[in-house]
Amino acid sequence: MAQPVKLYVYDLSNGIARQMSLQLTGRQIDGIWHTSIVVYGKEYFYGQGINITAPGRSHHGSPLNIVDLGATDIDKETFNEYLEELREQYTAEKYHLLDFNCNSFTNDVAGFLTGGSIPDYIKDLPTDFLSTPFGAALRPTIDAMYRRPTPGTTPTQVPTPTPTAAPAMPNPELVGSILQAVAAQAQQGTRTPSAPIVSNQSTDSLTSPLHPCNNSASFQSLIRSHKAVVAYFSNVVTCPPCRVIAPVFEDLARQKGIKTGGGAGAAFTKIDLATPSGQALGAEWGVRVMPTFMFFLDGKKISEMKGADATELRTQIDLLLFQAYPPHQHTSLSLPAMQALSLKPILFTQAPALDAVSNKLNSFVDSATWPSDTSMSAEQVKRVMSTSVLPYLKSRFTPPEALKNKLPSANATLLSSWNQATATLSSILPPESLFPLVDMWRLALLDPAVGTWCAANPSTSPIITLLKVPLTKSTIQQCPRPYMLTLLRLLSNAFSSPVLSPRLLIDNLRTDVTAVLVPSLLHSDPSVRTAAASLAFNSSAFLQNLRVEAVRNGGGGGAKSDIENEDWEVEIVSAVIEAIDREKESEDVVHRLMASLGCLLRLSPFYETQLNPLLEVLQARQILQSKLAAGGCGEKGVQKPEVRKLIEEVALKLCP
């Protein structure tokens, strides 16, 4: 009789991931998932080895979700034999929060019982997490938590994440404590005290991306879900060549395995032919010689290698990665002017006379007609601004000399009340009366705490509120100059926050920012155009940083982050080229626009398919070169040598 198979899903973070993931990573992660298999009236999970309990009676409590995986016709005795076989692989000392965890176990068991796999959102969570700058920065800390010491050496203390390792990481002590708590929760379980942990060199390298595969279903899932896969079939017990090549394979997995931060690599897996399930998998793939290596690209086997030739193995892996991630054509170009560009954001840091700004805003509040049904009265708004916001801005941005090394940061209470006042003011005051408020937020966004708070509240942040003001006009040109100027400077300053920056370039917020940016590049006022060019540069420089990091991590032309968006890049490139063509007055604006264009084009994953044809249609090379001629920008054209070199380089090497 068929037995139902259920997947119990728990959140090891107890809701913390849902609350803090956007703030910490710039991406919404709803949970740190722990899973178990429920079948034959028992719950099976991996932590301190393989554990068995009554359903819902483990230390994890009640499951957050129950997923129906189907049914199995395998009898309980056969399953128990399979489970005993797995116990040799799923031991307590092999556990790793990212690489070899409870979900690795349930995916294997699901494959054995039903031929299926656990949901992708659970399997792919480590990859999703590590693809963020925050996750990449935490990788060494997580690895250190699971690295067993070599016998005879002193154990290394697990390091606390540091701000220098992850500039986007607020409160490293909190992050460290959360990690330890999640790890402890994941590995709790029954354990025999008399069974000591024995360090095993063959498993000490689990921090390399070795994916366990114990049956056909898990192997098929691996090759379907990864662009490049290297599979190693061996039996180190009976095969001396296997023992020789094993450390080479594990070292290559460390060097060329799945990379983070937008890079690329292969998924490495090792199939143990000493086990019955490994033998069955080897027979399925026609393995007759040990060791055998198979190489998969886009789910298809492209080559095979037999024997323990380390040089040939390296060559085959390099060839696989070259085919999977061919190098971007721009990596072979000499671009000294582009490489000399500082990719740090352009910021507007000058602090105004804050008392004068506050008085100006108060005068606008006093002169406005205040509806009776607003969430805050005029007096409440003025009280928040004068007793909370103004003292904070003064203490941080115009502090006495003696206090410059002890600058305060905004707290959530202050920001929430200020945000409420901002929403109220923007619904009552006309745009020409709001620029003092915008200028205060422009300054505040230089405080890392403010950027982090805005990133954690993307749908209700003041950035959204203030962006909507000009978008209610039929054209941006109708919005008062002071408002547009301060808003563009505010958006530029938002890129000072590594946590907030990616939020500005995804989803609805990107749409609103773009709707303000594009027409502002053609504004009649030179100061507004300068601020718009600064925002364009900050956006493109952020992308360029991601691409350079991806290339550094081994990614090729096909590797792109979640932030890359084909339609958006086409729109911005078109707008920047038009702005360059029209800019006849300011060499500074041309410089910023040229730097923006170079950053948008260089290493773009859409260069060959979209941007290159677009540049030809727009005659971009001719437009750029016209800036060097008389009348192109000023009477004599662009004069600064560094700007001329940048124009020539982008025109001749990045434009067809």
Domain ranges of the chain: 1-150+161-187, 348-480
Q: Which of 34, 96, 226, 328 is catalytic?
A: 34
pLDDT band at 207 (very low <50, low <70, confident <90, very high): very low
The answer to whether residue 157 scores a pLDDT higher than 60 is no
Please compute the mean of the pLDDT values over residues 505-526 and round it to a whole number. 95
Q: Which residue has the higher pLDDT, 648 or 147?
A: 648
- Rounded Cα gap, residues 207 and 94, in angstroms: 10
Mean pLDDT of the chain: 86
- Which region among 176-185, 422-431, 519-528 has the lowest average model confidence (pLDDT)? 176-185
* Single-letter amino acid code for the residue at 406: K
Please state whether beta strands 49-53 and 42-47 pair in parallel, antiparallel, or not at all (unpaired).
Answer: antiparallel
Percent of the chain with pLDDT over 90: 60
Please compute the mean of the pLDDT values over residues 382-407 and round it to a whole number. 87
- Rounded Cα gap, residues 425 and 192, in angstroms: 64
The pLDDT, as a whole number, for residue 368 is: 95
Please compute the mean of the pLDDT values over residues 450-461 and round it to a whole number. 88
What secondary structure does DSSP assign to 429-458, as a single string?
Answer: S-GGGTHHHHHHHHHHTTSHHHHHHHHHST
Instruction: Based on the residue annotation, tell me whether 328 is a catalytic residue of this protein.
Output: no
Q: Which residue has the higher pLDDT, 603 or 21?
A: 603
The answer to whether residue 533 scores a pLDDT higher than 50 is yes
The pLDDT, as a whole number, for residue 406 is: 79
The pLDDT, as a whole number, for residue 557 is: 54
Phi and psi angles of residue 84, each rounded to the nearest 5 degrees, phi first? -65, -35
Q: Which residue has the higher pLDDT, 467 or 160?
A: 467
Contact between 421 and 385 (Cβ < 8 Å):
yes
The pLDDT, as a whole number, for residue 138 is: 60
Q: Which residue has the higher pLDDT, 512 or 121?
A: 512
The answer to whether residue 193 scores a pLDDT higher than 90 is no
The pLDDT, as a whole number, for residue 11 is: 87
Q: Which of 60, 96, 102, 242 is catalytic?
A: 102
Instruction: Based on the residue annotation, tell me whether 34 is a catalytic residue of this protein.
Output: yes
Which positions ≥6 away from 13 have C-beta within 8 Å? 31, 32, 178, 182
pLDDT band at 23 (very low <50, low <70, confident <90, very high): low
27 by Cβ neighbours in 10 Å (0-12 / 13-18 / 19+) ranks as: middle
The pLDDT, as a whole number, for residue 225 is: 79
Please compute the mean of the pLDDT values over residues 179-199 and round it to a whole number. 50
- Which region among 26-30, 396-400, 572-576, 592-596 has the lowest average model confidence (pLDDT)? 26-30
Please compute the mean of the pLDDT values over residues 300-305 and round it to a whole number. 96
The pLDDT, as a whole number, for residue 446 is: 97
Bond before 291 cis per omega within 30 degrees: yes
What secondary structure does DSSP assign to 200-238, as a single string?
Answer: -TTTTTTTS-EEE--SHHHHHHHHHH-SEEEEEEE-TTT
Q: Which residue has the higher pLDDT, 316 or 169?
A: 316
3-state secondary structure 292-350: EEEEEECCEEEEEEECCCHHHHHHHHHHHHHHHCCCCHHHHCCCHHHHHCCCCCCCCCC
Name the CATH superfamily housing domain 1-150+161-187.
Answer: PPPDE domains (3.90.1720.30)
- Rounded Cα gap, residues 226 and 265, in angstroms: 9
Which pairs count as long-range contacts for 569-572, CB under 8 Å and 24+ apart, including other chains? 569/600, 569/604, 569/606, 569/610, 569/611, 570/606, 570/610, 570/611, 570/614, 571/514, 571/518, 572/514, 572/517, 572/518, 572/536, 572/539, 572/540, 572/596, 572/600
Phi and psi angles of residue 266, each rounded to the nearest 5 degrees, phi first? -105, 155
The pLDDT, as a whole number, for residue 91 is: 87
The pLDDT, as a whole number, for residue 541 is: 97
The answer to whether residue 599 scores a pLDDT higher than 70 is yes
Please state whether beta strands 65-72 and 42-47 pair in parallel, antiparallel, or not at all (unpaired).
Answer: unpaired
- Rounded Cα gap, residues 148 and 126, in angstroms: 21
The torsion defined by the Cα of 270, 143, 135 and 566, in degrees rounded to 10, comes to: -30
- Which region among 182-186, 503-507, 557-561 has the lowest average model confidence (pLDDT)? 557-561
The pLDDT, as a whole number, for residue 162 is: 45
Please compute the mean of the pLDDT values over residues 618-642 and round it to a whole number. 97
The pLDDT, as a whole number, for residue 106 is: 93
CB atoms within 10 A of CB 28: 10
CB atoms within 10 A of CB 648: 14
The answer to whether residue 396 scores a pLDDT higher than 80 is yes
- Rounded Cα gap, residues 42 and 52, in angstroms: 7
State if pTM tops 0.85: no
